[in-house]
Structure 1
Amino acid sequence: MSTESPRRSSRLRWRLGPGRATRAKAVAGFTALLLPLAAMVGLASPAQAATSATATYLKKSDWGSGFEGQWTVKNTGTTALSSWTIEWDFPSGTAVGSAWDASVTSSGTHWTAKNLGWNGTVAPGASISFGFNGTGSGSPTGCKLNGASCDGGGTVPGDSAPSKPGTPTASGITDTSVKLSWSAATDDKGVKNYDVLRDGAKVATVTTTTYTDTGLTKGTDYSYSVQARDTADQTGPVSGAVAVRTTGGNDNPGPGTGSKVNLGYFTNWGVYGRNYHVKNLVTSGSAEKITHINYAFGNVQGGKCTIGDSYADYDKAYTADQSVDGVADTWDQPLRGNFNQLRKLKAKYPHIKVIWSFGGWTWSGGFGAAAQNPAAFAQSCYDLVEDPRWADVFDGIDIDWEYPNACGLTCDTSGPAALKNLSSALRAKFGAKNLVTAAITADGSDGGKIDAADYAGAAQSFDWYNVMTYDFFGAWEAKGPTAPHSPLNAYAGIPQDGFNSAAAIAKLKAKGVPASKLLLGIGFYGRGWTGVTQAAPGGTATGAAPGTYEAGIEDYKVLKNSCPATGTIAGTAYAHCGTNWWSYDTPATITSKMAWANSQGLGGAFFWEFSGDTANGELVSAMDSGLN
């Protein structure tokens, strides 16, 4: 009986790639900038005409477990203020402790500060401040001063404020710039201009619905939103925010690595029949040449992230000879299994980032429920990935949804926006310092899976996509025609238009996904047929060729000896031995594919999965040298 996990054996038809970072412990600190709160959030419509005054917030200091906050009220009008009240919201987990120079109360997460008897009057041009000690790390949102806009926009009787503009979309992202576009706001008297907000602070005011922000830092995360002003200078609510990461930069290079991502999948079930363990990454030399590991898989059940295999993940006891550092697990240690071995690997190779991947071919059915409540899904994933027992092991999360608004093992009908909604919720919860990635389809055909979901919109929240550019063809079509399962480009006689790596990458780029956010996929295995008499691709077959764990699929480390390559087509190798016909990548074809990825400006490459490589990691080596 095969000992191969059903999660691997079922990763066959319509896969277009088998699915799939030290956790960044530092929480993004507040920059001590005086920011108008109206520039951070959508504002409630004031109930009365606004007094000419503003309220601004300053985080004066942050000591990790708490911070000192300060609000400043400034009278920008010509008559004195007789009193002031500031209202705002803090996210759950952030709260006011002791306060001075104001009376501060709360109702849930909504906070209200009122002047004391001696500081309610503010003369024209004057300011008054109050402060407090707080806990948590959140920013205030929803600011109102005396019921009006905190930026002084206010309202004019009989003149409505502008509507909320559309959430910006980002394009043309470079190392130092990004172009933003958004749909227009509306107003009963006309929109005058738009404030462009970067990380909550106004960076420009424009009269059009586009803006190019320049002078940015490469490899850096930014958040953009916009706010409309009408002809009376009233401000409307702030739009939704788009997350942008500039290209270039890589603070995680390790020995033998350059600026490109070289990511490999490690499967939790590999520790069983395959007898492949984290230590094998060390003995093969692969650990020195990779930048990231995707740990596969966590499950998705009831719209939540859950453990995939608790025994392999964190309970299996390792002997000294199996352990990364040569130290055996004890019966009473708090963490064992793969998670503890990955912790040891990261201690030995600190450049490696580990990402926990959820879903996959078998477990993608849970994403439909997740899409119904993205925030709850993101919270469940964060709670699991950041569990104190192993929070230091993981540097982020990867989702392998096969496929949004399309069919895989089951059919999803969540709609084109579901992936974008999910990615936005994950980014909001995991923050800028954690990696958030996704494995996606490589179906570049017209009306295919790439067209079924908003991959460009979702890319704004993801660090990158693992484009599953393999499993295009295989013995699920038992009679053939034989075809390479991972063609780099089209060729005469290819069974399906759009089923090749170049077509998939081109389509994603055309839709607006930055090339730097695309990783090219490589399979460390082959797919094959039997009953084949024709050596060249396009022959007929009688069924799937026999394999070690399942018919029709075999590891590269086996095929390189049992059925050596006899030719190449579309940038990949094929082999005809006896009546069996196989296609797979070799060090030579991987080298050429990496050169192509570099020429396309891709962010790097990834592979499925480590155990298919040779004992000395020759495929990983080819990827490393080809990328760098």
Structure 2
Amino acid sequence: MSLRLNTRFRSRSLALLLPVAALVGLSAGPAQAAGTTATYTKASDWGSGFEGRWTVKNTGTTAISSWTVEWDFPSGTSVTSAWDADVTGSGNHWTAKNKSYNGSLAPGAGVSFGFNGAGSGAPANCRLNGASCDGGTTTPGDNPPSAPGTPTASALTSTSLTLHWTAATDDNGVKNYDVYRGSTKITTVTGTTANDSGLTAGTSYTYSVRARDTADQVGPASAALTVSTTGGGGGDPGPGGKVKLGYFTDWGIYQRNYQVKNLVTSGSAARITHINYAFGNVTGGKCAIGDAYADYQKTYDASSSVDGTADTWDQPVAGNINQLRELKKKYPGLKVIWSFGGWTWSGGFAQAAQNPAAFAQSCYDLVEDPRWADVFDGIDVDWEYPNACGLSCDTSGAAAFKNVMAALRAKFGSSNLVTAAVSADGSSGGKIDAADYAGAAQYADWFNVMTYDFFGAWDAQGPTAPHSPLTSYTGIPHDGFNTADAIAKYRAKGVPAAKLLIGIGLYGRGWTGVTQAAPGGTATGPAPGTYEQGIEDYKVLKNSCPATGTVAGTAYAKCGSNWWSYDTPATIAGKMSWAKAQGLGGAFFWEFSGDTSNGELVNAISSGIG
């Protein structure tokens, strides 16, 4: 897992559309002849900002050649970027006009455009081509119903559930409720409960409800509920349905003195579903042992062993691998994945990509070696970066990553996990654009999106910036360098949200020679760190340099002339709420040893993602 994102990217922003979570129909102004409608979607909301979408539909019998949608936002809410429409603002009033390629709509056709917004307000006074956005006539003084209460779920099984919500209100009475799974209406009911069946085990679903009054006016959507069905196979993370994964590094047993047993004493092992063991090497077109002594040769005495029994000098497998075996016996539901590559050893993937089948065979032979086949549940590929630059530049081509993942899946089969750590470069023309991640995703159980290390003291003079921003913010040094843009880009390319995991770094990045408390200040170089300049564990920073502010969903701190950014339990809670609203498959973190002795960040991740 890389602790650094390559620093040279294009700075042109590319905003990307996220899937719909709920629909809100807005109407205002004089009535128009039925025939065109505009409905609004808030796809996600992370507190300081949101992603919205308008859908224009021609419900009439004649074609239209252009469209213009207008609406008002309350003070403090604005559009920051948009796609598939030209959006302009004047004060609190916003106008969106069609692009040259999407203005004409035949009868029954529709088109959508989206935007990223700042603030938390909702649009009002919607007008489409100068008339009402509801496409029909409304009675003066007859208001649409309110939003129902947030749904809750009961009777949850692997294939079905029951939804409940509190009633909406309306001046003339509520007639019924439309229930949505994602953006699809699944049923209309007259009461405040509904059943949904035919679902897939171990899968996350998002639900919302809209009320309809006796005049057939539809009110705003309820807040969304995201819930996971039980069951599932392979890498099923359990009834909660979310992957909770941490990286354990083989070298952490040395200077850091972080052993597998620490996962038990900290409580972290009980809070996670998966461990990625890092790293195996990639060399000569093959998977190879990374550190034989740490992996299977080092012996542990009783006090440092997971099961309290000392290793013997002649046992065939000792080291971390045997300790992980003991850990799995203690926590039978825990799965361990062997991760190969990383920042230092990614150069070997170029040769591996020349013969993916041979590479996959070598990896299978190593991971499924009879000495430890019971320990590992699959393989993780940490290629930094396919057809792009990391420590070195790869020129394997856009299809290479997909081909490697396809070969691994073919060899490891459906009974093993096949995952990958992937770039979080959401910039236009950046790393995500360099390889066929959507094609590779069909062979992966999930992608660990490395949503950290966006900024750091490799830019020695600054500007200071948070290394793991959830969203963009005014003054961010590079467009697209944030979690929301990265996730949006993967989803727009066709990677399912359920196959994307948000990443958290259990450490901070910092500069020295800083005089400005807020982000954007100049610096003279990297701040001093325990093991490396410019980086420090959370367990140290929480006491030595407590957070003094937040920006873009993460924390920062200025202590003397040093400036640090890192995540805290509070900012992690916000990120996990955002990830759940997006329907992501879970969360992962780099890496265990950066946490406190009682695992407070791992606890925040586990409890927050649900």
2:38 aligned with 1:12: no
8 A contact 1:521–1:605 mirrored in 2: yes
Match of residue 502, structure 1, among 484, 494, 497 = 484
Q: Deviations over 1:34-92 (max 9, x none)?
A: xxxxxxxxxxxxxxxxxxxxxxxxxxxxxxxxxxxxxxxxxxxxxxxxxxxxxxxxxxx
| Inter-partner Cα distance in structure 1 for 2:537 and 2:340 | 23
Q: How does 1:343-492 map to 2 (within 5 A)?
A: 343-492=325-474
Q: Deviations over 1:354-397 (max 9, x none)?
A: 00000000000000001000000000000000000000000000
| Cα distance in structure 2, aligned partners of 1:260 and 1:567 | 30
2:315 corresponds to 1:333: yes
Contact 2:4 2:454 in 1 (8 A): no
Shift of 1:258: 2.0
Q: CA deviation at 1:217?
A: 4.5
Which digits, 9 at most, give the CA deviation of each residue in 1:430-483, with x for residues without a partner? 000100000000000000000000000000000000000000000000000000
SS state at 1:362 partner: helix
Correspondence for 2:534 among 535, 552, 559:
552
Q: Tell me whether 1:586 sits opposite 2:568 in the alignment.
A: yes
> What secondary structure does 2:320 align onto?
helix
> Unpaired segments of 5 or more residues in structure 1?
1-6, 17-174, 177-213, 221-245
Q: 2:585 aligns with which of 583, 591, 603?
A: 603
Output the aligned Cα RMSD: 2.0
SS in 2 for 1:361: helix
Contact 1:487 1:501 (C-alpha < 8 Å) held by counterparts: yes
The CA deviation string for residues 290-340 of structure 1, in whole angstroms up to 9 with x for no partner, is: 000000000000110000000000000001110001100001111100000
Which one of 332, 342, 357 corresponds to residue 324 of structure 2? 342
> Secondary structure at the residue paired with 1:408?
coil
CA distance in 1, matches of 2:541, 2:379: 33
| Aligned AA (2:6) | W
Is 1:540 aligned with 2:532? no
Opposite residue 272 of structure 1, the aligned amino acid is: Y
Counterpart of 2:110? Answer: none
What residue in structure 2 maps to residue 530 of structure 1? 512
SS in 1 for 2:282: strand
Q: Is the 8 Å Cα contact of residues 532 and 581 (structure 1) preserved in structure 2? A: yes
SS of the counterpart of 1:363? helix
Q: Is contact 1:15–1:441 with CA below 8 Å preserved after alignment? A: no
Contact 1:15/1:408 (<8 A) preserved: no
CA distance in 1, matches of 2:522, 2:229: 46
- Residue 79 of structure 1 corresponds to none
Q: Secondary structure at the match of 1:376?
A: helix
Cα pair distance change 1:513/1:553, threshold 3 Å: same
3-state SS of 2:352 partner = helix
Q: Gapped runs of 5+ residues in structure 2?
A: 9-157, 160-196, 204-227
Q: Secondary structure of 2:343's partner?
A: coil
Q: Give the TM-score normalised by structure 1.
A: 0.62
Deviations, residues 104-145 of structure 1 (Å, cap 9, x unaligned): xxxxxxxxxxxxxxxxxxxxxxxxxxxxxxxxxxxxxxxxxx
Matches within 5 A, 1:68-467: 217-219=200-202, 249-251=231-233, 258-467=240-449
CA distance in 1, matches of 2:474, 2:280: 40
Letter in 2 for 1:506: A
Aligned-residue offset at 1:218: 3.6
| Distance across 1 between alignment mates of 2:360 and 2:376 | 16
After TM superposition, the runs of 4+ consecutive aligned structure 1 residues lying more than 2 A away are 214-220, 246-255
**Cα deviation, residue 12, structure 1:** 3.0
For 1:611 and 1:560, locate their aligned partners in 2 and report how far apart those are by CA, in whole Å. Answer: 14
Closer/same/farther in 2, CA of residues 367 and 431 from structure 1, 3 Å limit:
same
CA distance in 2: counterparts of 1:533 and 1:517, whole angstroms: 42
Specify the code of the residue in structure 1 equivalent to 2:373: A
- Distance in 2 (CA, whole Å) between partners of 1:288 and 1:215 is 32
| Contact 1:440-1:467 within 8 A present in 2 as well | yes
Q: Which residue of 2 aligns with 1:154?
A: none
2-structure distance, mates of 1:15, 1:626: 31
AA at the equivalent of 2:513: G
Q: 1:289 to 1:254 in 2, by over 3 A?
A: farther
- Contact 1:15–1:471 at 8 Å: present in 2 too? no
1:14 Cα deviation after fit: 1.3
2:517 is aligned with 1:520? no
Corresponding residue pairs, total? 399
Which residue type is aligned with residue 581 of structure 1? W
The 3-state SS of whatever aligns with 2:358 is helix
Q: Which residue type is aligned with residue 261 of structure 2?
A: K
Q: CA 1:318 to 1:559, structure 2 compared with 1: closer, same or farther past 3 Å? A: same
* Offset at residue 253 of structure 1 (A): 6.6
User: Residue deviations 1:341-364, cap 9 Å, x none?
Assistant: 000000000111000000000000
Paired with 2:267 and 2:237, the residues of 1 have a C-alpha distance of 13
Contact conserved, 1:557 with 1:614, CA < 8 A, in 2? yes
CA contact (8 A) 1:469 1:501 kept: yes
Q: Return closer, same or farther for 1:563/1:498 CA change in 2, 3 Å cut-off.
A: same
Letter in 1 for 2:289: I
Structure 2 counterpart of 1:121: none
Tell me the distance in 2 between the aligned counterparts of 1:219 and 1:425: 26
Aligned to 1:56: none
Q: 1:590 to 1:387 in 2, by over 3 A?
A: same
What letter is aligned with 1:343?
R
Q: State the shift of 1:216 in Å.
A: 8.0
The CA deviation at 1:248 is 7.5
What is the alpha-carbon distance in structure 2 between the residues aligned to residue 455 and residue 12 of structure 1? Answer: 20
CA distance in 1, matches of 2:518, 2:232: 42
8 A contact 1:15–1:361 mirrored in 2: no
Alpha-carbon distance in structure 1 between the residues aligned to 2:449 and 2:342: 13
CA distance in 1, matches of 2:266, 2:283: 35
How far apart, in 2, do the equivalents of 1:389 and 1:617 lie? 31
CA–CA distance in structure 2, aligned partners of residues 516 and 254 of structure 1: 13
Residue 429 of structure 1 aligns with an amino acid whose one-letter code is K
Equivalent residues of 2:202, 2:241 under 8 A apart: no
Larger radius of gyration: 1
Name the CA distance, whole Å, in 2 between partners of 1:250 and 1:627. Answer: 18
Q: In the alignment, residue 601 of structure 2 is paired with which amino acid?
A: L
Distance 1:453 1:218 in 2: 31
